[in-house]
């Protein structure tokens, strides 16, 4: 039986170059969108175009790395908020952080829902986001802070919907999203409203969890 290949760790200078490249690419994508070229990224990072491809075989790999890093940071925020004393405010704070990320980073939605959405790194990031969003939503449901028929996948779609609503005017009214988050969250707390029609949306990675039973306070 053949021994598995030995994967050598990156040298310290290669690690520094990769971090510099990811940072420069993230800034370029955030400012200019996913259409930014590899040449523009290389120039911003102060490295050669060939160096970019030594670290990332394709532009899609680079895009996926940036999206995954943003997803990882958002998941970290969510994990901290899962421990918050007030589950309802924890869910609101998570939605706020997620929308603000999209407002500040033009490429995030383009890539996460676009050409790189099937990339293994992006799919892994989406799975983590699904899990932490459902955990936050479940805590708020159990405490009676939101409707009992709201699921984590509902929340994910609402986050995206709020951003899409304000995206045409985000350049001139960058904080308008807060108005619509407030409006949406108020409706999520309308616990005496009739039951929502139809089944909840399903995650691409797993079925949405059934709602908890306690009544709204």
**Average pLDDT of the chain to the nearest whole number:** 84
**Ramachandran assignment for 89, one of left (phi > 0), alpha (psi -120 to 50 degrees), beta (any other):** alpha
pLDDT class for 85, splitting at 50, 70, 90?
very high
What are the helix and strand counts (H, E) for the chain? Answer: 9, 0
pTM, full prediction: 0.79
Lowest mean per-residue pLDDT among 23-37, 80-94, 107-121: 107-121
CA dihedral 171, 173, 174, 179 (to 10 degrees): -150
CATH 1.10.10.60 corresponds to the domain 12-57: yes
Q: Which of 174, 125, 136 is nearest to 158 (CA)?
A: 136
Evaluate if residue 217 carries a pLDDT over 60.
Answer: no
pLDDT in tens, 107-150: 677 666 666 677 888 889 999 999 999 999 999 999 999 999 99
Q: Which fold has domain 58-193+200-211?
A: Tetracycline Repressor; domain 2 (1.10.357)
Domain map (residue ranges) of the chain: 12-57, 58-193+200-211
The residue with tokens 């680079």 is 62
Say if 12-57 and 58-193+200-211 have the same CATH topology: no
4: confidence class by pLDDT, cuts 50, 70, 90? very low
């Amino acid at each position: 039986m053949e021994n598995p290949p030995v994967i050598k760790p990156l040298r310290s200078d290669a690690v520094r170059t990769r971090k510099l490249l990811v940072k420069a690419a993230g800034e370029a994508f955030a400012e200019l969108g996913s259409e930014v070229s590899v040449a523009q990224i290389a120039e911003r990072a102060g490295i050669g175009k060939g160096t970019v491809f030594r670290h990332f075989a394709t532009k899609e790999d680079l895009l996926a790395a940036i999206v995954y890093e943003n997803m990882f940071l958002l998941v970290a925020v969510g994990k901290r908020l899962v421990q918050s004393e007030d589950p309802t405010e924890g869910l609101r704070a998570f939605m706020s952080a997620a929308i603000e990320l999209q407002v500040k980073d033009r490429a995030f939605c383009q890539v996460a829902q676009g050409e790189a959405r099937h990339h293994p790194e992006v799919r892994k990031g989406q799975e983590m986001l699904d899990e932490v969003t459902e955990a936050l939503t479940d805590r708020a449901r159990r405490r009676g802070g939101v409707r009992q028929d709201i699921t984590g996948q509902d929340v994910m779609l609402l986050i995206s919907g709020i951003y899409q609503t304000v995206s045409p005017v985000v350049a001139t009214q960058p904080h308008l999203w807060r108005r619509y988050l407030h409006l949406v969250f108020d409706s999520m707390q309308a616990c005496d409203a009739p039951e929502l029609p139809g089944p909840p949306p399903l995650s691409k990675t797993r079925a949405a969890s059934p709602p908890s039973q306690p009544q709204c306070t």
